[in-house]
Amino acid sequence: MQINNVNLVSVKYPAENIFRIEIDRPAGFNFKPGQFARIGISPNNEGSNEIWRAQTIVSRAEEDKTLVFYIVYLEGNPFSDALKKIKSGDKIHLDDLPYGHFTLDRFGPGGDLWLFSTGTGVAPYLCMLQQEKIWENFSTITLICSFRDQTQFVYRDTLPLEFEKLADFQNANYQKFSFIPIYTREKVVSDCIVRGVKTTNTFSRGYFEKLITNGELNYILENSISDINSKVMLSGNPNMIKTTRDFLKTLGLRSSRRNEPGNIAVENYW
């Protein structure tokens, strides 16, 4: 295994508990959308005793010259504490191989693709949505993001720009796309996209399975999850993943495994 010594381009704090770091991308570092990389940081920036963490890559797989990561700060966590000390221009370590199987390869083509995430768990989807394969393979694509409150929606400024790129670049495919942000601790108006059309909606506070069972998502999207036509990806909080996956299984969906394709793929974020 080779370790790359890379330049830290920038460190930003889009929320009080979230870091956004950008590093130079080493030549030959290739990955599939949805994969993660291992980052190593020295507690004292002395190049020794690195603390490592795996983080999903947000950057586009083929075009971007830098790698971007959104990282949640965990109180008392050695990696988080080391991260607070670094600054632009510092050197950090990057494993030369990407990891993970949370990719579109988990599913065969066809049907509706549902992308559920909590917090920074939306990261792999931002990368996937830039891939032509996703638009070629699925009839509709629905991104549903859950945040504790509006302060945790750190992609608020960048997501609309990315969606505008999709509208321009994908043209007719944009009508396949829906985006629903929901908040679990406050009831606010959400800026949504439904089949390529911007709209606003107010959702009751709650988690994914509640919004599915009470019919709110079905009504707004004019679509529903089924074991016949749906492929579902879950990314983020392990509790969300467990409860949502358990509920989806009551609808007849099953987990996708390496040698046994199914309807559900998951990525735990801690």
Note the pLDDT tens digit of each residue in 212-266: 888 888 888 889 999 999 999 999 989 888 989 999 999 999 998 877 788 999 9
Angle, CA of 73, 18 and 209, to the nearest 5°: 95
Other Cβ atoms closer than 10 A to 139: 12
Per-residue pLDDT, 214: 83
Spatial strand order of the sheet with 112-118 comes to 197-202, 189-194, 177-183, 140-147, 112-118, 230-236, 264-268
Per-residue pLDDT of 102-156, as tens digits, reads: 999 889 889 999 999 998 888 899 889 888 888 889 999 999 998 887 877 776 6
Confidence of residue 53 (pLDDT cuts 50, 70, 90): very high
> Containing H/E element for 244?
helix 238-250
Domains of the chain: 3-95 (2.40.30.10), 104-268 (3.40.50.80)
CA separation for the pair 121, 143 (Å, rounded): 12
Confidence of residue 203 (pLDDT cuts 50, 70, 90): confident
Per-residue pLDDT, 163: 62
Residue 46 above 80 pLDDT? no
Per-residue pLDDT, 263: 93
Confidence of residue 167 (pLDDT cuts 50, 70, 90): low
Contact in structure between 30 and 72 (CB atoms under 8 Å): no
Backbone angles phi, psi at 248, to 5 degrees: -60, -35
* Tokens at 31, concatenated: 């990955």
Q: Which has the higher per-residue pLDDT, 60 or 110?
A: 110
Residue 168 above 70 pLDDT? no
Per-residue pLDDT of 173-200, as tens digits, reads: 778 889 998 888 877 788 888 988 888 9
Q: What is the mean pLDDT of residues 57-86?
A: 88
Per-residue pLDDT, 98: 94
Backbone angles phi, psi at 205, to 5 degrees: -70, 135
Backbone angles phi, psi at 265, to 5 degrees: -130, 140
Residue 194: strand pairing partners: 197
Q: What is the mean pLDDT of residues 78-101?
A: 92
Output the average pLDDT for the chain. Answer: 86
* Tokens at 92, concatenated: 């950090």
